[in-house]
Chains A and B, each alone.
Chain A
Amino acid sequence: MSPKHLEDIYDAVIVGAGAAGLSAALGLLRSDAIKEMKANGQEPKILVISKLQPLRSHTGSAEGGIAAALGNVEHDDWHWHYYDTVKGGDWLVDQDAAKLLAEYAPETVINLERQGVTFSRTADGHIAQRRFGGHTSDFGGKPVRRAAYAADRIGHQILHTLWQQCVTNGIEFAEEWYVTDLVLNEEHTQAAGVVAFDTHTGKTHAVNAHNVLFATGGAGRLFHTTSNSWDLTGDGMALALAAGLQLEDCEFVQFHPTGLAHTGILLSEASRAEGGVLRNADGEAFMERYAPGHGDLAARDVVSRSIMAEIDAGRGVADPKDPNGPKDCVWLDMTGIDPEHMEQALPQVTETIRKYANIDPTHDFVPVKPTAHYTMGGIPITTDGEVYRWQNGERHIVEGLYAAGECSCVSVHGANRLGGNSLLDACLFGTRSGRALAARIAALQASGESDAVDPALAEATEAARAARQGELDTLLAGNPDEAPGSNPYQLMADLGSVMERAAAVRCDAQSLATALETIDNDLAPRAQALAAHDKAATFNQEVTAIWEVRHLITLAQAVLTASDARHESRGSLKRTDFPERDDEHFLAHSMTDAAHEVSWQPVHIVDMPPKKREY
């Protein structure tokens, strides 16, 4: 669906329609400020732009749960959730933000339910809750049932409910529009709007807006093996870099230990909880060697690192689907689980293995490898979702620019995210940023300026559109045969392999330098030489793919640069040349820009001084 006509200027343009973008739209609409405006007969002009039809957003793939200290099945306390989040993030968490996350989690989950989310239930009709890694009672004590769930489909339920609320509340969408530019004023202090490419008509549009919110999701496609959908190409983060902004903590990428071989599709942690054992090429159950006492159920980052250590030591196995390929997997042995119990306790896991690996897990070992899952870092925001630049030791807010969800970094996840906290972050901080937007919109309305278009800003968006149109014309006019092997899909695959070798799970100065050199000297020039094979702009997926792979390359350079600058190991980042955490020098957020300048912002320590992270 596309808007019938574009407004001269919008009160708010929201880019992305997953949990964060839709929560922001609803938070905005339901705020007191907007309700009052509407009571006075004034309609805010809001547009949600998304490159996918919203129901296709990757939020829908989240399986396990959303964390909140509801205490529906056993006693819980949000202060414990707060502690677990800070500890799980290896103390790189901004504690003021994590405190809000834990304190407002129950409200967030209850309001999802009251909007229609179909949660699983306890016998007495309350929202059911299950255990999740790292969530404990009593500040690191016994595991606690904190993850509210909906069978193994919580993301699907949340996504559909939020979309249903948006469409019945009349939110306007521009679907399958791809945003190509974030436009700021010359000083990078104020948002002007975005440039969007309507993939149906093939036209570029300058969209002027008093406020822009980015909720574009993660960037799993940086890596060859990822649980992320094909669309998670880090667009929002790359656009922020291109607009002269920084990314915070972008070196932290969580790898889930058990992706199904090269497909990257997740096999839930439950497969090991129910008795599955990881084995190397020699058949050895190696986890006991790395994490005595915890074995196969050690923390996610620990298991991922152990698997990679086995592979690096030559004890990996090839994906049976690619028997002559690299030996970059290990076995998940589920044959010890009673077949009947397996069907009952792990229906989704067994179905996925049968369908996508063609293996019967009751008889045969399953190939698994760590799969890129979540970007902890992103566009730096305040706890109200305002995007800022870190300069001269201070935060400088970019007026009218907001971000929420995985593309942003309010720093509740620090160096490693806990399960159940990503949907919570997206919904909670999405809603908060929507409310902050509403206050700005209402204030502008009160001043009578909401229809006023600043000529300088409108000129900037139009100039950006014209430049993008020019580039589009070049892509369509170009001869791809002049650049042998010109194919954005192949280039994306090549980038994924380079990143996987250099930075998946572990890295060192040498691997990072090699990857950066390959990108600078080979991949980036190839990306610049790409041209489209089809000359029509309508439904030309290759054009979008060219922009996506350029975004991924921009982002990959930032990720490698930030990884190189952090001379320590913390959370998901394992530097084999700096194996220890170094609080003295690196208890700080990296702030990386497109010029590869890295500056450091101190972590907000409010209640809990850093401790050693042990499970």
Chain B
Amino acid sequence: MTNTTVTLRVNRFAPRPERNRDRGGSPFARKSSPFGSSSEAPARRRPRGKQWTQDYVIEARPEDTVLDCLLTIKRTVDPTLAFRYSCGHGMCGSDAVSINGTPTLLCTATVKDWAKPANTAVQTDDEGFRHTEGADASDEASSLNDTDDANGSSLGVIELAALPGFPVQRDLIADIDPMLDQLKKLKPALQADGVLATTKDGKVDVFEYLQNPDQLAQYERLTNCIACGVCEGSCPVFAGGDAFIGPAALIWSSRFINDSRDTKAAERMDAIDTADGVAACQSVRACSRQCPRGIDVGEEMWQIVAKVRER
């Protein structure tokens, strides 16, 4: 058995049961982005329900992932705690959340990298802002101080919340459909001659499109995007609610613009040359910091902005 513990401080949320009180929606209502969510769900609607913070103290080792800890909670303490997870090793992109206020994946974050001494744990308010020293509005942390005395075995506190920039649905589950809608709007599929091969007498009648390794290198890293939403939640423009199609959609668009097989680069550049497209990027580069696939999102954005402008 391990003899160390960690405290997970989880921002929980339970939606209020749905009421069928459709207010119609005013034609003058301001939507934060024309690329935002579909018409029936007003963009960035703040979900109604009960919010509270819950502390879980569990046994954990420094090298355990935060996902390991949450699964232990589900199995041994509280099966009602809700969070998305699937592959558990950083490939499926389902478990992006905010850890200590920073968007990242549960399954790649380890306790030793994220646990902080109880009294210095970063606090964020319900807008997702971190307060600077002395501005901490919460008193709940004080109840925790007893975990790091006596046995002296606490590795610290990790604070968890749903991915910023998206409406929370339950506990750590956020509605990322706005991001997926934005990806889809930019026609994210290879457009070439469209002819597919068939087999006759054991032989194919059409071959692959040729693409040499140098041409591949122009865009291959962009195809590694797993659409987890970490860059979107990190972007102050996107997560701040301004009109912006977001870094992920621009990365996907750039992926096709730079693919030598694609024939629609000009149209694709037109589609993102808008006020809420490339013009909305403020080059903050926060999007690069936690990309789980190691894409330098900020640099790639810089490149595609330059490419669009230089046409």
Query: In chain A, what residue has the closest Cβ to B224?
Result: A153
A56-B86, A165-B189, A358-B63 in contact; A125/B211 too (CB < 8 A)?
yes
Q: Is the CB of A124 within 8 A of B210?
A: yes
CB distance from B179 to the nearest CB of A (A): 11
Contact between B85 and A230 (Cβ–Cβ < 8 Å)? yes
Contact of A321 among B61, B80, B171 (CB under 8 A): B61
Q: Which residues of A contact B180 (CB under 8 A)?
A: 1, 53
* A37 interface hit (Cβ, 8 Å): no
A580 contacts which chain B residues (CB < 8 A)? Answer: none
Q: Is the CB of A106 within 8 A of B188?
A: no
Residue of B whose beta carbon sits closest to that of A546: B79
Do the beta carbons of A55 and B61 come within 8 Å of each other? Answer: no
Q: Say yes or no for B184: interface residue by CB 8 A criterion.
A: yes
- Interface pair B87/A157, CB less than 8 Å apart: no
Query: What is the CA–CA distance of A160 and B215 in the complex, to the nearest angstrom?
Result: 20
B89 touches A164 (CB 8 A): no
Q: Assuming the A-B contacts A56-B86, A118-B220, A164-B188, are A110 and B207 also in contact, with contact meaning beta carbons closer than 8 angstroms in the complex?
A: yes
User: Once the chains are docked, how many angstroms separate the CA of A358 from the CA of B180?
Assistant: 34
B92 adjacent to A58 (CB under 8 Å): yes
Q: How far is the CB of B40 from chain A (nearest CB, A)?
A: 8
The proximity string for B residues 73-116 relative to A, scoring 1 for CB distances below 8 Å and 0 otherwise, is 01110111010111111011110000000000000101000000
B94 touches A107 (CB 8 A): no
A99-118 CB mask vs B (1 if < 8 Å, else 0) is 00001101101110111101
Q: Using Cβ atoms and an 8 Å threshold, which residues of chain A touch B15?
A: 536, 538-539
Q: Does B177 contact A (CB under 8 A)?
A: yes
B134 at interface (Cβ–Cβ under 8 A)? no
In the complex, number of A-B residue pairs with CB atoms less than 8 Å apart: 173
Contact partners of B18 in chain A: CB under 8 A:
201, 538
Task: Select the stretch in A292-300, A382-390, A482-490 that faces chain B.
Answer: A482-490
- In the complex, A104→B205 CA distance in Å? 12
Within 8 A of B (CB), among A405-448: none
What residues of chain A lie closer than 8 Å to B209, measured between beta carbons?
Answer: 113-114
**Residue among B79, B87, B209, B224 with most chain A CB within 10 A:** B79
Is there a chain A Cβ closer than 8 Å to B25's Cβ? no
Task: Name the CB-closest residue of B to A265.
Answer: B89
Pick from A106, A114, A231 the residue with the most CB of B within 10 Å: A114
Whether the pair B92, A229 counts as a contact (CB closer than 8 A) is: yes
- With a cutoff of 8 Å between Cβ atoms, the chain A residues found around residue B224 in the complex are 153, 156
Q: Is A107 touching B204 in the complex (CB atoms < 8 A)?
A: yes
* Contact of B286 with A by CB under 8 A: no
- A541–B95 Cα distance when bound, in Å, is 14
Q: How distant is the Cα of A103 from the Cα of B200 in the complex, in angstroms?
A: 10
A58, A123, A539: most-surrounded residue (chain B CB, <10 A): A539
Least CB distance, B98 to chain A, in whole angstroms: 18
Q: Could you tell me if A114 and B210 are in contact, using CB atoms closer than 8 angstroms?
A: no
State the B residues within 8 Å of A (CB).
Answer: 1, 14-15, 17-18, 40, 61-63, 65, 71, 74-76, 78-80, 82, 84-89, 91-94, 108, 110, 169-171, 173, 176-177, 180, 184, 187-190, 192, 194-199, 202, 204, 206-213, 215-216, 219-220, 223-224, 226-227, 259, 261
- Extra contacts besides A56-B84, A489-B74 (9): CB < 8 Å: A52-B94, A55-B227, A61-B91, A61-B92, A113-B209, A116-B189, A157-B223, A357-B63, A488-B79
Identify the 4 closest CB pairs spanning chains A and B, nearest first. A116-B190, A125-B210, A539-B170, A358-B63
List, sorted by A's number, 14 A–B pairs whose CB atoms are closer than 8 Å.
A1-B180, A107-B204, A111-B196, A113-B209, A115-B196, A116-B190, A116-B259, A121-B211, A124-B210, A124-B212, A168-B189, A324-B1, A489-B71, A539-B169
